[in-house]
Chain A
């Protein structure tokens, strides 16, 4: 694991961090004419986050036998929109300029649960951003893009931060509160999106 950490650290410095910066600039250009976007950010996955993912197991077996190659979100980007309806508009622009190999709407497992909501893509990195070798010792071939509303993003960030607190065991009441907060965020999205639509219809009239 020591070798892997060192290899990822090197890749992150040499390729991933500069690439994330260029990708963020590229995305800003792609969405320059699109309104109701709160922010566009891109980042290289931190070393700790990469190592945690590389060590993941599924049914007792390591999920990744070649993590430098297999982990597809070593560079990640996020676009945060105002309203739910904006997500589809943003997706149209994404598909205009990027080739995707995966598109997922991430929702809780059942309709009676609340948790993480977001739209995720695995996209091929555009050739304009690749000026060197592609592979574990160079550029990745893919990046992950998430599209979220402000409320989805707020819940996601707050919940993610809590997940990194050491020596904390969730009690069922804690989990219920987190789900409640997600439901509130979901409700706020519904309210604002509905009002936005009403405004839009009124403007058209």
Chain B
């Protein structure tokens, strides 16, 4: 159930000394626009699939300015309180993002208060109107489309204004590199899962599969992905996206997902951290049927050991050279 809809035309303002005024209005609770926004509100739980959390202020207090403005608006749903969020978006938006139409919708769903912030980017379009025998076409500027790549939305819900609304969900199809201006600069938040926690989860799943699978193809695919994974450093990723990016086969993907604590974690987004990946999978080790063991840092294994197939057999020949710095005995492999 929707209680209020506010709308603001937000020009870029980041770095501007005198940013343009923000025009705003309350959308009436009837009509086509209300219905359209209502649909967006209802579908937002499915569309907003990236979980985020507000970042507290640097003094360590349980406070975040954007969250505070959201709570103010939920407690007192006035256009002046909604405008605070529009101002915040303007200060976070630079010229690259251009003009946007911001809808702020408050309401209730599943017995919780819910708020949707949705930014429609400006585009141009053509209006075609036909009379009986004629057609009139008109160029339209400032058409705001939801299907555009640069549509962004965020939802937060809860029952307690004291302790809820610390995490929420976003849709941002332009996520690349570190989280976008929508998440970091406007919402003052970050992915709910830290880079290290998400990367470690992925690396451990891959480690578990490689060490337990009897499927040689699955093992090879994952080892190849491990070799290339450090190139992903800094990129927002999910386990699912990682498997797609490296073109892993169905059995390999299923094995990795099975190795997660629960399969919904495959959709959890985090920023890939090369250092954590290396920390979790520091060494690769190959054991041969002649009891020989080769061990080297994962990301340099194939530089250190050259491999070549021995013709006419399943054997592989490994070659390496270096100065001996340690030669002794061990009690275990």
Contact = CB atoms under 8 A, between A and B. Distances in A.
A69 B164 contact: yes
Nearest to B270: A127
Interface in A40-77: 66, 69-70, 72
B66 to A, nearest CB: 13
A131 interface: yes
Contacts of B164: 69, 141
A149 to B, nearest CB: 19
Interface in B156-185: 159-160, 162-164, 166-167
Contacts of A127: 51, 192-193, 265, 268
Contacts of B265: 127-128
B197 interface: yes
B166 A101 contact: yes
B194 A98 contact: yes
Nearest to B67: A101
A129 B265 CA distance: 10
B163 A103 contact: no
A104 B192 CA distance: 21
A104 B163 contact: no
Given A99-B53, A124-B192, A131 B60 contact: no
A129 B268 CA distance: 13
B83 interface: no
What range describes how many residues of B lie at the interface? 20 to 34
Given A97-B196, A127-B265, A102 B163 contact: no
Contacts of B201: 128
Contacts of B194: 95-99
Nearest to B51: A127
B261 interface: yes
Interface string A141-175: 11000000000000000000000000000000000
A187 interface: no
B195 to A, nearest CB: 9
Contacts of A124: 53, 166-167, 192
A69 B53 contact: no
B75 interface: no
Given A70-B162, A124-B166, A102 B62 contact: yes
Contacts of A103: 56, 60
B54 interface: yes
B60 A128 contact: no
A100 interface: yes
Contacts of B261: 128-129, 131
The majority secondary structure among interface residues of chain B is: loop
B268 A141 contact: no
A102 B160 contact: no
Nearest to B58: A103
A70 to B, nearest CB: 5
Contacts of A129: 261
A129 B193 CA distance: 12
Contacts of B160: 66, 69-70
A126 B163 contact: no
A122 interface: yes
Nearest to B201: A128
Interface string A95-117: 11111111111000000000000
A87 to B, nearest CB: 14
Identify the interface centre among B62, B163, B261: most chain A CB within 10 Å of its CB.
B163
A120 to B, nearest CB: 10
B271 to A, nearest CB: 13
Contact of A102 (B56, B192, B200, B262): B56
A98 B196 CA distance: 9
Interface in A185-201: none
Given A98-B197, A102-B61, A104-B60, A142 B192 contact: no
Nearest to B198: A127
A125 B194 CA distance: 12
Contacts of A70: 160, 162-163
A98 B55 CA distance: 12
Nearest to A105: B60
A48 B163 CA distance: 22
A135 B112 CA distance: 11
Contact of A122 (B54, B62, B167, B268): B62
Contacts of A69: 159-160, 163-164
Given A97-B197, A128-B265, 15 more contacts: A69-B160, A69-B163, A95-B194, A96-B197, A97-B194, A99-B190, A100-B56, A102-B56, A102-B61, A127-B192, A128-B261, A128-B262, A129-B261, A141-B163, A141-B167
A-B interface, 4 closest residue pairs, ranked by CB to CB distance from nearest: A103-B60, A102-B62, A96-B196, A97-B197
5 contacts: A103-B56, A126-B193, A127-B265, A128-B201, A131-B261
Interface of A: 66, 69-70, 72, 95-105, 122, 124, 126-129, 131, 135, 141-142
